[in-house]
Amino acid sequence: MTSYHDITDALSGLLSPGKVTADREILEAYARDETSDLSAMPDILVRAESVEDVRAVMEFCNTHGLPVIPRGAGTGVTGGAVPVRGGVVLSLEKMNRIIEIDRENMVAVVEPGAITRDIQDAARAEGLMYPPDPASLDSCSIGGNVAENAGGPRAVRYGTTRDYVLGLEFVLADGSVITTGGKFVKNATGYNLSGILIGSEGTLAVVTKIVLRLVPAPLFTFDMLLPFPSLVEAMNVVYGILLNRVVPATIEFMERDAIDLAAKFLEREMPFPDAGAHLLIQVDGNHEQAVFNDLDAIGKLSCADPDTIIIAQSPEQRERLWKARRSIRDAIKKFYPVFLAEDCVVPRSRIPEFMSDLKNYLETKDLRSVMFGHAGDGNVHIDVLKGDMEYEAWTQGLPELKREIYRRAIALGGTITGEHGIGFIRKDYLSLALSRDEIELLKRIKKAFDPKGILNPGKIF
């Protein structure tokens, strides 16, 4: 093959018409994901509609040594779906069927392009729940969630995507189609291939079908918003809650700046304008009284004046509270389009130390940051804003800034990313978090799945 023109023709011949394009205007939309300040044009776009399409594309690209970049909904924030070396973007957006909600086995069988919210709604209609709830759930795809091991606020009680994948169908670089697991919870048959695929960021295989574990939907869910003078005081309450045998579904924290930005974005007043930090806690269960007891215990442990606690009982009230939490990233994007988004994890008990140490460091650099995240599982979102800084100074300073953030998380026993992955923007820092031997082993796994290195090159390593 000599040119991408020939390749487009050859791929169009292999697949039915309309699935392959090299139209620059269409390709533009596939040049970026939600990563701040990163884009690269693909050469060709293929919108697969079946596993057979994916198989044909992979076999062809492997034979000709062409890069293939799997893509879900493009909401990733580490450049995972960005074709940094050009090549063929393989979009799974049209493979979006919820094939089955199997009530008896409490399982969902879905295609990778299915939107996470749609899976949750389909499960709920059968009295079941798919718990992982990334803040992007209205737009991200389940294939992207699997590839990133996406998490969300409910990880405290329910875990992350990894805890719900029972089986996968995936296509290797050479076009082989492999099926792992199935509609069963236990499996001790050989290596856990699904486990290796989860969090592999499109570098090992293209996921074409997913079997998901569902759980019974809790009958009662209440959310409460609690104000605190400072983050340290809020975090002390978090430990108290968990040590008192109350395991809420979520324990989210938002520092003052995060709330202020969300309020400005949503053009609404926030209930506690003077609070230094907030906790947004969700408690669920099947016995109303037991859920009330948990709410009561949390209220007492917080030592808050009961008049300052907001409890949302109806879906509308709940949505109002969560809208503010889920809008923080969009607010930052709107008011500060260039920013660094980090999602380090540290042991839960080290969150206040991590944040105050980092704030001090950022202040010495005249940088403003917004911090929020998952207090229950130690995952802190740190968004550092470029603000008025000259663009050149900002980009020059980024490597040191990232290194300082990661170094601090690792020193406290944490790691560099909890849910957003390595992708393109963190690959130069992998060696801060993993040993040389570990990285070598990961590279050997990559070679076993994709010997020619055509799948999502330039990511993770």
Judged by the rule CB under 6 A, the positions of this chain that interact with ligand FAD are 33-34, 69-77, 80-81, 92, 112, 134-136, 140-141, 143-145, 147-148, 150-152, 201-202, 206-207, 329-330, 419-420, 456
Residue with tokens 């953030």: 405
Radius of gyration of the chain measured on its C-alpha atoms: 22
Rounded to a whole number of angstroms, the minimum distance from the CB of residue 110 to ligand FAD is: 11
| Strands 310-312 vs 250-255: parallel, antiparallel or unpaired | unpaired
Rounded to a whole number of angstroms, the minimum distance from the CB of residue 200 to ligand FAD is: 7
User: Residue 47 or 329: which CB sits closer to ligand FAD?
Assistant: 329
Rounded to a whole number of angstroms, the minimum distance from the CB of residue 72 to ligand FAD is: 2
CB 209 within 8 A of CB 125: no
- Closest CB to ligand FAD: residue number: 144
| Strands 177-181 vs 215-216: parallel, antiparallel or unpaired | unpaired
User: Residue 291 or 346: which CB sits closer to ligand FAD?
Assistant: 346
User: Residue 300 or 447: which CB sits closer to ligand FAD?
Assistant: 447
Rounded to a whole number of angstroms, the minimum distance from the CB of residue 393 to ligand FAD is: 26
User: Residue 73 or 123: which CB sits closer to ligand FAD?
Assistant: 73
Provide the b/e sequence for 343-373 (b: ≥16 CB within 10 Å): bbbbebebbbebbeebbebbeeeebbbbbbb
Q: Residue 97: name the closest of 56, 129, 51 by CA.
A: 51
User: Residue 71 or 256: which CB sits closer to ligand FAD?
Assistant: 71
In this structure, what DSSP letter does residue 215 have? E
Rounded to a whole number of angstroms, the minimum distance from the CB of residue 418 to ligand FAD is: 8
Helices (H), 91-230: 116-124, 142-148, 155-158, 193-197
Rounded to a whole number of angstroms, the minimum distance from the CB of residue 343 to ligand FAD is: 8
Helices (H), 71-197: 116-124, 142-148, 155-158, 193-197
Rounded to a whole number of angstroms, the minimum distance from the CB of residue 244 to ligand FAD is: 27
Calpha distance 309→364 (Å, rounded): 36
User: Residue 206 or 231: which CB sits closer to ligand FAD?
Assistant: 206
Q: Residue 255: name the closest of 233, 227, 277 by CA.
A: 277
User: Residue 21 or 136: which CB sits closer to ligand FAD?
Assistant: 136
